[in-house]
Amino acid sequence: MTGALSGRRTARVAAVAVVACVLGLLPGSGSAARDQREARLTAAYDCTTPSGTRRAQVTFGAAFPGRGAIGKPIRPTAVSVRASLPRPVVAELLPEGTTSVAGTAVLATTVAQGRERAVARWADLTSPGADVRMPTGGPVGIGFSGDVPHVTVGSAGDVTFTAGKLDLALTAAAGSDTGDASARPAPAKLTCTPAGGADTFLAAVPVEAPAPQPPAPATGSADPESDTPRDAPKGIDAGPRPRAAADACPAQPPAGKLDPKRLPPVPPGGAAEELEPTSMCAVPAGFATLRKLKSSALVNDPRGQRVGLMHLAMRMREVRAPDYVEYDHLGLMQLPDTEGTFLTFGFQPTTAKVRFEPEPATIVNIIRPGKPPVTKVGYRQHLRLYDVRVNGVPLDVGPRCRTVRPVETELTGSYPVSEGGLLQGELDIPALGGCGANGEDLDTLLSGAVSGPGNALKIRQGRVCGAGSACKTPRLPDL
> Does residue 290 lie within any of the structural domains?
yes
Residues 45 and 137 in one domain: yes
What pLDDT, on a 0 to 100 scale, did the predictor assign at position 331? Answer: 96
Residues 127 and 252 in one domain: no
What pLDDT, on a 0 to 100 scale, did the predictor assign at position 473? Answer: 85
DSSP 425-454: EEEEEPPEES---TT---HHHHHHHH-EEE
The tally of domains found in the chain comes to 2
| Rounded-to-integer distance, Cα 166 and Cα 11, Å | 47
Residues 458 and 334 in one domain: yes
Residues 170 and 318 in one domain: no
Strands 188-194 and 77-85: unpaired
Residues 339 and 364 in one domain: yes
Give pLDDT tens digits for 64-102. Answer: 998 898 888 898 988 999 999 988 888 888 887 777 788
> Does residue 475 lie within any of the structural domains?
no
What pLDDT, on a 0 to 100 scale, did the predictor assign at position 191? Answer: 92
Residues 106 and 10 in one domain: no
Residues 268 and 355 in one domain: yes
| Under 8 Å between Cβ of 321 and 264 | no
Residues 80 and 45 in one domain: yes
| Rounded-to-integer distance, Cα 435 and Cα 431, Å | 11
Residues 41 and 117 in one domain: yes
Residues 16 and 110 in one domain: no
Torsion-angle region of residue 346: left (phi > 0), alpha (psi -120 to 50) or beta? left
What pLDDT, on a 0 to 100 scale, did the predictor assign at position 280? Answer: 93
Q: What b-and-e string marks burial along 171-205, b requiring 16 or more CB atoms within 10 Å of the CB?
A: bbbeebebeeeeeeeebbebebbbbeeeebebbbb
The CATH number of residue 116's host domain is 2.60.40
Q: Which domain holds residue 292?
A: 2-20+239-466
Give pLDDT tens digits for 218-246. Answer: 433 333 334 445 456 678 888 665 556 67
SS3 call for 72: coil
Residues 249 and 105 in one domain: no
> Does residue 90 lie within any of the structural domains?
yes
> Does residue 219 lie within any of the structural domains?
no
- Residues ≥6 apart with Cβ < 8 Å to 274: 316, 317
> Does residue 326 lie within any of the structural domains?
yes
> Does residue 11 lie within any of the structural domains?
yes
What pLDDT, on a 0 to 100 scale, did the predictor assign at position 93? Answer: 86
Residues 363 and 285 in one domain: yes
**pLDDT-flagged residues of the chain (< 50):** 1-34, 174-184, 216-228, 230, 341-348
> Does residue 385 lie within any of the structural domains?
yes
> Does residue 231 lie within any of the structural domains?
no
